[in-house]
Amino acid sequence: MTSNQNIGSSEGGATQRARGNNAVQETAPETNNLLLPDTLSVHELANLMEEDPIDVIKELIRQGVMANINQVIDFDIASKVTQAYGFEAQRLGEDIDNGWREFSLDEKGAPNLIARPPVVTILGHVDHGKTTLLDAIRESNVTDREVGGITQHIGAYQVEYSGQKITFLDTPGHEAFTAMRARGARATDIAVLVVAADDGIMPQTIEAMDHARAAQVPIIVAINKMDVPGADVDRVKRQLVENGLVIEEWGGEVITVPVSAKEKQGIDELLDNILVVSEVEELRANPERSAVGVIVEAQVDKSKGPVATVLVQTGTLRTGGVVVVGRTWGRVRALFSDSGSRVEYAGPSTPVELLGLSQIPMAGDILGSVDSEKIAKDIVGERDRLSQSQQDFAAPTLEDAASRIGSGEISELNLIIKTDVQGTVDAVRGSLSKLSTEKARVSIVHAASGSINETDVMLATASRAIVIGFSTKVEPGARKLAETEKVDIRQYDIIYRLVEDVQRALSGLIAPEIREVVEGHVEVRAVFSAGRRGNIAGSYVTDGRITRNSIIHIIRGGEIIHRGLVASLKHFKDDVREMATGFECGVVVEGFTDYVVGDVLEVLREQQVT
């Protein structure tokens, strides 16, 4: 993360910012927007505001938070600090609310919520019948239009079954599915994993399974090709369990449905189960609000210009409306349904083809309706300025993950493992799994043999994982993508060095236990006025010591009436760093001026429990 720029501050007018002890001003400072990630260190926050870290630490103490310069704090705490310095904190990834609509899908407690169709993604091995299954569901003939019977593009289709609609995303593989997630889009409600009954679990099936689990969506397994000689359902079920998917009939939560896409058998049972899972998930949306959606695919048509397939997730997208998509915008000239019919609007969970964008967006870009072209241009301009800053909050490095788990933000280290041969995968997985403790655990998102490729990097971006390579190479495309997405790739040839690095990281991940130790006591024996700067406590160190970095409890009548840092420590007129037992000193405690003779200043310091 670069920490030398003020990301997301507004441009209007001169900015007045509080510095040091002058955080509270007689005239309220002009409020600027400051874009912040979910978590960041105190040092990074200070740099973003261009403030002294010590002053920021003092402000945290005023807010009741004890943190050192490298401590990681969350957005809520950081936003309280920024207010004292004239900033309005905005969470990274949301649009600044300056007359702009926030492109948020969070609708808890919102009015006008209605049930929406589930969005289902079909995943699986390349020739296990994904598109043929979707073809059977749609009762159309998609496969014949595909080169070699293999899907060459992303399609989004909506079908009606038992009076309810279901939206399907037919992807060319889990790579596109994960690429969308990596760009912040949660476009899928349910994943249908297609496994051929004659082939069983294949390496690409395991990859698709890992990608679906990383997305944390319910999985339904369609065991396809039941009409083929050699179909063995029990073998497939055993393989599913061996790979971590415990099926419902064996005490798990994963539903399995035997089907034959070619013979159109088991289709109704599959759709019934999709609707059951959808009902359990309680999928809701508000069609009355402005539209928010996700780009499924985009291309340039020679006659139409930029064309994008949009999955509307909430709200209603209407012809003539102005939309912002990623770093481009446009006015909706026309909308077409998945059947090719022209429509005037599209509601939640509806896929449509959109015409009118000025440039081609990327798959996974979030689309949002806005009120005017001016607002759209402002948003795109702001995003252009923030693009580099947003990249700085990409997938974590090993050190970054250590800091974040130490702060309690996350409790596991996500890893993607790639080795030279399959036999080494289990050895590495086993060695790393043993390192997990109650406070911090290793979570292996995906493990396989082969070189580190672009799919691994995209999965790492989407799941915020570190890529570990053992005796394998990194493909040039993957290395370039890792540099762009800021994904940490670690390569090893000796297994004990790999284990040692992860173990050291986990030791750093576990937040150390901190306790406060009493360093001494100081008695207030006189109170001196310092004019506009308040009062000074003329004190005597009765035991221990007091330093300029001490934490102070002011005790009166046996009760703690204030807590703060030492703001000033003097011996006569000289500033000093420390005063020991038997010496007199002048003390000023942050945020307190009402000293009374007889007050006791209890001096504390933080100590890590080993």
Report the range of poorest mean pLDDT among 58-72, 238-252, 526-540: 58-72
Q: Where residue 110 falls among pLDDT bands split at 50, 70, 90?
A: low
Residue 349 near residue 165, CB atoms below 8 Å: yes
> Average pLDDT, whole number, for the chain?
79
Query: Strand, helix or coil at 251?
Result: coil
Same domain, 240 and 149: yes
In a domain, 383, yes or no: no
Domain that holds residue 565: 514-609
b/e 223-236 (16+ beta carbons within 10 angstroms → b): bbbbeeeebeeeeb
Cα separation, 214 vs 524, whole angstroms: 59
Examine the fold and report which residue of 234, 264, 282 is the final residue of a domain before the chain moves on.
282
pLDDT at 419 over 80: yes
What's residue 417's pLDDT?
92
Same domain, 433 and 483: yes
In a domain, 535, yes or no: yes
pLDDT at 434 over 70: yes
Please name every residue paired with 325 in a beta bridge, in sequence order, or none if there are none: 328, 367
Domain holding 495: CATH number? 3.40.50.10050
In a domain, 389, yes or no: no
Cα separation, 254 vs 274, whole angstroms: 12
What's residue 21's pLDDT?
34
Same domain, 259 and 308: no
What's residue 109's pLDDT?
58
In a domain, 393, yes or no: no
Average pLDDT over residues 121-129: 80
Same domain, 497 and 518: no
Average pLDDT over residues 261-267: 88
Same domain, 267 and 174: yes
pTM for this model (two decimals):
0.55
Same domain, 276 and 304: no
Examine the fold and report which residue of 483, 509, 535 is the final residue of a domain before the chain moves on.
509
Same domain, 548 and 416: no
Other C-beta atoms within 10 Å of 464: how many?
Answer: 18
| Residue among 538, 551, 69, 110 nearest 287 (CA) | 110
Examine the fold and report which residue of 321, 355, 372 is the final residue of a domain before the chain moves on.
372
Same domain, 136 and 250: yes
What's residue 72's pLDDT?
74
pLDDT at 494 over 50: yes
b/e 255-265 (16+ beta carbons within 10 angstroms → b): bbbbbbbbeee
In a domain, 99, yes or no: no
pLDDT tens for residues 133-150? 888 887 743 444 444 444
- Residues 6 or more apart whose CB falls under 8 angstroms from that of 106 comprise none
Average pLDDT over residues 581-605: 93
Find the helix packing angle between 454-463 and 476-485, rounded to 10°. 20
pLDDT tens for residues 354-399? 999 988 887 778 898 988 888 888 788 777 665 544 444 445 677 7
Average pLDDT over residues 338-349: 89
In a domain, 388, yes or no: no
Same domain, 276 and 305: no
Annotate 182-220 with DSSP letters as a single string.
HTT----SEEEEEEETTT---HHHHHHHHHHHHTT--EE
Q: How many domains does the chain have?
A: 5
In a domain, 465, yes or no: yes
What's residue 102's pLDDT?
47
